[in-house]
Structure formats: structure tokens, C-alpha cells
Amino acid sequence: MHKDNQPLIFELTREGRVGYNLPELDVPEVDVASLLPQGMLRVEEAELPEVSELDIMRHYTALSNRNHGVDTGFYPLGSCTMKYNPKVNESVARFPGFANIHPLQDESSVQGAMELMYDLQEHLIEITGMDEVTLQPAAGAHGEWTALMMIRAFHEANGDSHRTKVIVPDSAHGTNPASATVAGFETITVKSDENGLVDLEDLRRVAGPDTAALMLTNPNTLGLFEESILELAEIIHGVGGKLYYDGANLNAVMSKARPGDMGFDCVHLNLHKTFTGPHGGGGPGSGPVGVKADLIPFLPSPVLVKEDDKYTFDYNRPQAIGRVKPFYGNFGINVRAYTYIRSMGPDGLKAVTEYAVLNANYMMRRLEEHFDLPYNRHCKHEFVLSGRRQKKLGVRTLDMAKRLLDFGYHPPTIYFPLNVEEGMMIEPTETESKETLDAFCDALIQIAKEVQDNPEIVQNAPHTTVINRLDETKAARKPVLRYTKA
């Protein structure tokens, strides 16, 4: 990678160049000005680029070379499940019969797509232990909000509109409290105990007749399984609340424990995590929601049903919460997830979880003497180290993360969860080989040594990337959010 700036596409523009050819217009061209009301014809042209096709390919190829993906190298970003994205998924999603169909076509002309959606739902029902699944939500946070709106509708239908509070652990993903707010709830935080698990006493204190739901990730964001899950469920159900499963960490428990069997009433899944829909540089994702029987009437409309061998969308759902998204969800991502599940099968999914957990525990044990390990027990698919030992020597976790860039790795998630000082959350996934895990551990151990012997090299990292640390304060103080021609 060379360190010269890649010009913006606007800076490559030369008047008169084009990157397209449309067919000649085969109907008479109209005088658009005469067809449009006064003032509606655009006068000032949008300043879009004027470049040739090769210019475009070179530009985006250069940009891609300035980007790190799973195919570039190891990406142990905790809570994000950065596993291999199978290429067959990409091919299937591009079949014209999946990519080039319109959501409002006559149902008889899209039975294949509906069959795939239905069968994916059936697979997800079995995997989660739920009674029904909707594929409508577009991403994890969207799924959280969808399920909370269903919980709200459920309570309102029971005359329980005083249930205004949603409880989340202090270790929860930020989307949990944010989704609760967007669904009109107030968030109450429950503390973690000294073992990193939900503090049962504190939960008993905050749960009450105003509780709408408890949102839980299990294993939690420390990678620890909530061993008291049945008691947690009992406490919440005892006060009339619903138990919500944040499926971000499902990769840790497939074929080992199903949310439906743990007492959860609803669950969202991140098909772009556990089920290999790629992350795409931030999206698109897909966030299906599964529910137990008593929440089924509230599922967003339409609901996909099968009658004999025919699939239809049922819009006649009087208690449905409404529609959370136009059409039927991120179908293209659902196709990829379905292809993945069918590639793995039941024995494959079981191995996925076993190897993901084995890999995480192996790395944790290799690294424990070099960093603080706040919770010393078997982890699930990820674990959290603390950099407080290194911080005392003047090197922050942020510095160590930046130093990892010099070794060609994407750093772990840092400073999360919030209840670990100088946290480093590592999730290897099952698709990485032992050699990769070892090389990464060696790099982190070397960095720990550098912190003692040569801290400057860590504090000033990265040294090999196309750009050094960026001035984020400047970016926020005087925001420049678009290109403007000089």
C-alpha cells in the first residue's frame, strides 16, 4: 500500500468524459420543459463525476486496497462474528430468479422465492426453539425494536399499558437501550455481579409491575453464559414481563442451548453474523425475529403462510403491530443465510459452535499470563481481556489495538463492554485455523513485551498503514461531510 492520497472521484472529473452508454431513445423525445409545470425542470445540474469506465474501476480498486476485510486477514472483532463469507452464497443471491424479482409481482410468479423464505423460517424456528419467525426486520437493532413493539402490543392487549420499563444489563449492546427508547420504553439498567453475570438481587430489586421486558444476550458480551438463566426467566415472568434474547452471540450456543428452551419469549438473530450474510462494510444485514405462541398474533404484517403447496402473504392480521419495513425484509441477505445453513446441515452447525468456543478458550489461555483476565472461567465464543496492567505503564488499549494493525490484523473490539476497564474483546470464530490464532496470539504477546521494553513503538502505532492516527476532534469540531469544489 502506498501512502499517497487517493483523489476523490470528483477530483478525477474531466468535463465531457462519460462512463455509460444508454441505448438510443426509440420513442420520440419530448420537450420535457413543456411537460413539467413552471419551475419543476432542473436547471442547475447535479455535480456528479465525469469519468471513464476505467477511471471508475481504478478508483474503486484503489479504495478497496485501502480496506481490510475478512478475506484480507484475521478480524477478531468481538461481538461481530467476523467469520468467512462463503462465495457460493454470493452466487446464489445473484441468480436472476432471486436478484431480479419484484416484491409486488403476482404471488404465482414468485413461489420459488416464497418457498425459500418459508423454509428459512422453518430452519430458524428449529434453531431458536421458537414457534414462529418473521423475516421482515432489516438488521439486528431493527429486530430488537420490532420485538419490543410486539411486547408493547401484547401488554396493551392485556390492559397492561403501565408496563413502561425495559431492563438491560450494564454489559448490553448500545442498541438495546436505544431500541427501548425508540419503542417508547424507559430503560432500567441491572448490574453485573463479581462473576460478570446478571446480579440476581439487583434484578429482583428493579423488576416489578412496571416491567415490560428484560433484554438479555446469552452468552453475554463478556462471552459468559448466564448460568442462572432459568432463575432470571422466573423473576421476569414472575412479575409479568417478557424475556428478550439478543441473538448477536448465537454462534456460541448453536445445538447447545436454544433461546426457546431457556425461557425466552422472543429473539432476534443477526443473519449477517452467525449465518454469514457478509457485513458489507456496515450493512446490509438481516434481523429476523422469532416468537413464542402468545406473541404470534402481534407479528408484523404480512405473515408468510403455506396452504397445501402454495405460499401466500397473509395481510389479514387484526392484532399485527403494523409494518416495520416496506416489503418482506432483506431478502438478498436471507438467501445467503439460507444457502449457508443448507451448506452446513445439523452436524455442521453444531461443529461451528464447538470450534468457535474451542478457539476462543484456546486463545484466552494462551494470552492470560500476558494480560489481565477479569473473569477467569471457560468462555463461550469470545472473551474479554483488560489492558489495565499495560495502562499502568502508560500504554492504553487503544495503542495496542493500533499496533496490531502493523501486524496485518484487524484489532479486537475495544472499550466494550463498558464494565471492563481498558477492555479488549476477542472473537476468533470457527473459520480460522490454529496457525492464524497462534500467529495473532504471538503478535499480542510481542506487543505486551513492547509495552515493557519499548512503549513508544506501541504508543505511536500504527507505522505501516496508508494513514496514521486521524484527528477525530477536528473532524467533529468543524465537520466536513461532503466534497465541495475548490
Partner 1 sequence: MKHRYLPMTEQDQKEMLDVIGISSIDELFADIPEKVRFKGEYNIKPAKAESALLKELANLAEKNADSKKYASFLGAGVYDHFKPIIVDHVISRSEFYTAYTPYQPEISQGELQAIFEFQTMICELTGMDIANSSMYDGGTALAEAGNLAAGHTRRKKLVVSEAVHPEYIDVVKMYAKGQNVQVVTVPTKDGLTDLSKLEELVDEETAAVLVQYPNFFGQIEDLAKVEQLTHTQKALFVVSANPLALGALTPPGKFGADITVGDAQPFGIAEAFGGPHCGFFAVNSKLMRKVPGRLVGETTDEDGRRGFVLTLQAREQHIRRDKATSNICSNQALNALAASVAMTALGKKGVKEIAIQNISKTHYAKHAFEKAGFEVPFQGAHFNEIVVKVNGSVADGNKVLLEKGIIGGFDLGRVNSDLKNHVLIAVTEQRTKEEIDALVQEMGALHA
CB atoms closer than 10 angstroms to residue 413: 20
- Please identify, using beta-carbon distances, which residue of 165 and 241 lies nearer to partner 1: 165
Residue 415 to residue 398: CA distance in whole angstroms: 8
Residue 73 to residue 84: CA distance in whole angstroms: 10
Residue 77 to residue 355: CA distance in whole angstroms: 17
Q: Closest distance between partner 1 and the C-beta of residue 439, in Å?
A: 14
**Looking at 2, 26, 318, 392, which residue binds partner 1 (CB under 8 A)?**
26
Binding mask 444-473 for partner 1 (x = CB under 8 A): ------------------x--xxxxxxxx-
Reading the block at residue 159, the C-alpha cell is: 390492559
Does residue 190 interact with partner 1 by CB under 8 A? no
- Please identify, using beta-carbon distances, which residue of 44 and 453 lies nearer to partner 1: 44
Residue 422 to residue 398: CA distance in whole angstroms: 8
Burial class (CB in 10 A: 0-12, 13-18, 19+), 449: exposed
CA angle 78, 170, 358 (to 5 degrees): 30
Residue 396 to residue 451: CA distance in whole angstroms: 10
Please report, as residue ranges, which positions from 362 to 401 form the binding site for partner 1 (by CB under 8 A): 362, 365-366, 377-378, 380, 401
* E-only strand ranges, 275-329: 289-291, 303-307, 310-314
Does residue 118 interact with partner 1 by CB under 8 A? no
Q: What is the DSSP string of 49-61?
A: ----HHHHHHHHH
- By CB under 8 A, the count of residues binding partner 1 is 204
**Looking at 151, 352, 384, 400, which residue binds partner 1 (CB under 8 A)?**
352
Does residue 312 interact with partner 1 by CB under 8 A? no
Q: Closest distance between partner 1 and the C-beta of residue 114, in Å?
A: 9
DSSP-derived 3-state class of residue 289: strand
Q: Which residues pair with 186 in a beta bridge?
A: 165
- Binding segment (CB under 8 A) for partner 1, from list 208-216, 388-396, 425-433, 445-453: 425-433
Q: Closest distance between partner 1 and the C-beta of residue 218, in Å?
A: 10
**Looking at 47, 201, 314, 456, which residue binds partner 1 (CB under 8 A)?**
47
Q: Closest distance between partner 1 and the C-beta of residue 162, in Å?
A: 15
Does residue 157 interact with partner 1 by CB under 8 A? no
Find out whether the peptide bond into 49 is cis, omega within 30 degrees of 0.
no
Binding mask 72-101 for partner 1 (x = CB under 8 A): x--x-x--x-xxxxx-x-xxxxxxxxxxxx
Burial class (CB in 10 A: 0-12, 13-18, 19+), 133: buried
Query: Which DSSP symbol is given to 478?
Result: S
Q: Assess contact for 222 and 252: CB atoms under 8 A.
A: no
**Looking at 158, 343, 446, 452, which residue binds partner 1 (CB under 8 A)?**
343
Q: Closest distance between partner 1 and the C-beta of residue 205, in Å?
A: 19
Does residue 238 interact with partner 1 by CB under 8 A? no
**Looking at 194, 308, 392, 479, which residue binds partner 1 (CB under 8 A)?**
479
- Binding segment (CB under 8 A) for partner 1, from list 177-185, 238-246, 419-427, 448-456: 177-185
- Binding segment (CB under 8 A) for partner 1, from list 200-208, 257-265, 382-390, 448-456: 257-265
Does residue 29 interact with partner 1 by CB under 8 A? yes
